[in-house]
Structure 1
């Protein structure tokens, strides 16, 4: 079942624009799916459409090379360029570290494969320090921040839209310096154990100016040209169950994790909505995980307890939570199902409290009440699942198009065909 399909055989999927979105709490395997799409197809670019440096998309090549993609797209090993859209939070210092590792992995010029929208928000060490201090102050009530300052960057931009640094400011050192001085004062915190050291504004300006000179900065017309030029893969970050509006508050992200941002960027162009799920349901850190089972074990070489996220937790496949994710996204055209090599056989098909209701976007009090209900929910299982693609298709009502029996692109099998992509 794990024979590699050729690009021609996969063409009905990889010849289209594709939006790759995690329908869980993250960690479902978006990176390995994007890697397969780029390795077997003719993608012209990978577009990141939410999140920022907190993403962790693991890609393993058949020759053993491994990289955890954060801001670079997961098609980089195939030479597919990355475009960071205006919906991403860009951290140039973290990008430099990621590029250095990619060079070690024999990608000769990572920055030569990168374009960035000038309107994207700029994450700085000041955001990182403030975000970590805020999370530490929560004590036992921590939300599970990744500690990369993404939430603080978005929050500051919402409060001070005209003062928030953007990637375009990196081309104007004087303007950037003014914004960074104001930002640093606004976010000044008492030093706390575990909070990063804050470099001077002058050092930040110099680093960001060098970044702007090294990569190609673009405006909105650039993406429009990409879309006209051939198939583009939109790579999401995190998961729908962590969405800023539809996730289980307060254990959420400051990012829209549904298909919505990608659909906005597509501006009416057709695209396949590809949801990604595992054969079991994981999450990092605190928050609801109705099917969590301490007795359930699986090898997780690239997922472990982090100092900010907290422990990596796993539960049985949760069809109820994934049906909810599909409902709040408006549905998917197909699914990619990963980790099929893991010997699991139990699926949650219902809760004792019924289906998860879809609330009103923006009603965070309502989402918090929903979170409380989920902490009291009890799963109802079916055992003996042996044909996971068929079982998942039946349980959530969306066909499994791609199956993954391992981490590399050669471990993927195309299981069906798609008649036509979704059009907005």
Structure 2
């Protein structure tokens, strides 16, 4: 049985550790990445202390035999992929390249995209959107403007074509970066190492690993503080082409976000930090607020509901929940109306949370969101989790 793992917050809810747990306790053939790119940061900690923050490889890669597929919906960064593979090998992971497949149709992000992305974010000054500075959004934007010229994974095996595309890209973006020939050599090496495939057909039970969170979705998030990615179940379900899957939504006992944008329940007095999510020059600070049930109900609404919830960070000593706002501006609408989403962002900035005390997190979350908690996480390792429910759609 396939499982799709989606974050119902602004990201950082613990998708990586949930995916690792599923791969450790179930017969999982492949972890499929179905959105986002190298800006993902899914941290996995094993019982023996080994730790890796997954960006592109599936978060089950430290489990023997589990494969990774980077689908056509991924933005692949071949250069970062090499660095990540080296760290996995250093941790003892075997045959990481042999267990990886990459859809030829996947867009690739380059140093030119990254430089253009960072230049735009710097130019916004105090109005920064909270970009990760990895060039993923710029890659998507360029592909929309120049669909026939956007570099894709399959182009790495065709040097003449890729040279033309990289030269056009560098000239059009005008943001600097290394010589085209240097990039070309690295991408040819990637094509010789990675297994490039056409499309995706499951060969066994798969876990579909989402990136970022539904509240950052390109169409349903709070514009302009959103990602250039569909963060709901939609891409995974398109890849499955009608095959059944369990829709697992991930939440943590506090609501967080990394960088700019609305966070109605933000409370610095909580004093909660996350060593896996430090402040950085591009996203800005890691922000923490009380569990925001209205926001997470909205996430459930726009992604069409879930079959079950994974609730993480139950080991945190927090006892407060926002059950409602005095005036609730959250209303799901048709995708594509960014003016509507921006108006909702402004209204959300003024939202006044109404709070209640929590004594039983699992029961409270189930009552507030109308979905069952099927997986509890009391710490970072797979051994810190428990699930007594069979995950079937």
Using a 3 Å threshold, how does the CA distance of structure 1 residues 415 and 298 change in structure 2: closer, same or farther? farther
What residue ranges of structure 2 are gaps of 5+ in the alignment?
none
Shift of 1:417: 4.0
Question: Quick check: 1:211 aligned with 2:184?
Answer: no
Question: Quick check: 1:290 aligned with 2:264?
Answer: yes
2:9 to 5, 8, 24: 24
1:280 to 254, 260, 275: 254
Instruction: Determine if contact 1:249/1:371 at 8 Å carries over to the other structure.
Output: yes
Shift of 1:203: 0.8
Match of 2:333 in 1: 359
Match of 2:156 in 1: 170
Match of 1:303 in 2: 277
1:180 to 153, 162, 166: 166
Q: Distance in 2 between matches of 1:393 and 1:163?
A: 48
Shift of 1:109: 2.9
| Secondary structure at the counterpart of residue 155 of structure 2 | helix
Listed as ranges, the matches of 1:70-219 within 5 Å are 70-79=55-64, 80-189=66-175, 198-219=177-198
Using a 3 Å threshold, how does the CA distance of structure 1 residues 414 and 39 change in structure 2: closer, same or farther? same
Match of 1:335 in 2: 309
| Secondary structure at the counterpart of residue 221 of structure 2 | coil
Match of 1:263 in 2: 237
Q: Distance in 2 between matches of 1:32 and 1:352?
A: 35
| Secondary structure at the counterpart of residue 76 of structure 1 | coil
Match of 2:225 in 1: 251
Match of 2:18 in 1: 33
| Secondary structure at the counterpart of residue 291 of structure 2 | strand
Q: Distance in 2 between matches of 1:77 and 1:136?
A: 37
Q: Distance in 2 between matches of 1:89 and 1:100?
A: 20
- CA shift digits 1:59-89 (9 cap, x unpaired): 0000001000000000000031100000000
Question: Quick check: 1:386 aligned with 2:379?
Answer: no
Q: Distance in 1 between matches of 2:261 and 2:384?
A: 32
Q: How many residues align?
A: 392
TM-score by length of 1: 0.91
Instruction: Determine if contact 1:349/1:395 at 8 Å carries over to the other structure.
Output: yes
Question: Quick check: 1:315 aligned with 2:289?
Answer: yes
Q: Structure 1 segments of 4 or more deviating over 4 A?
A: none
Question: Quick check: 1:241 aligned with 2:215?
Answer: yes
Instruction: Determine if contact 2:329/2:348 at 8 Å carries over to the other structure.
Output: no
- CA shift digits 1:371-408 (9 cap, x unpaired): 0000000100111x121111101100110000000000
Shift of 1:354: 2.3
What residue ranges of structure 1 are gaps of 5+ in the alignment?
1-15, 192-197
1:416 to 348, 371, 389: 389
Shifted more, 352-361 versus 329-338: the winner is: 352-361
Instruction: Determine if contact 2:109/2:136 at 8 Å carries over to the other structure.
Output: yes
Considering only aligned residues, what root-mean-square deviation do their CA atoms show, in Å? 1.0
Q: Distance in 1 between matches of 2:390 and 2:33?
A: 25
Instruction: Determine if contact 2:329/2:344 at 8 Å carries over to the other structure.
Output: no
Listed as ranges, the matches of 1:53-64 within 5 Å are 53-64=38-49
Shift of 1:250: 0.2
Shift of 1:415: 4.3
- CA shift digits 1:125-161 (9 cap, x unpaired): 0000000000000000000000110000000000000
Q: Distance in 1 between matches of 2:149 and 2:250?
A: 37
Shift of 1:211: 0.3
Q: Distance in 1 between matches of 2:36 and 2:78?
A: 14
- CA shift digits 1:234-274 (9 cap, x unpaired): 00000000000000000000000000000100000000000
| Secondary structure at the counterpart of residue 377 of structure 1 | coil
Q: Distance in 2 between matches of 1:288 and 1:270?
A: 35
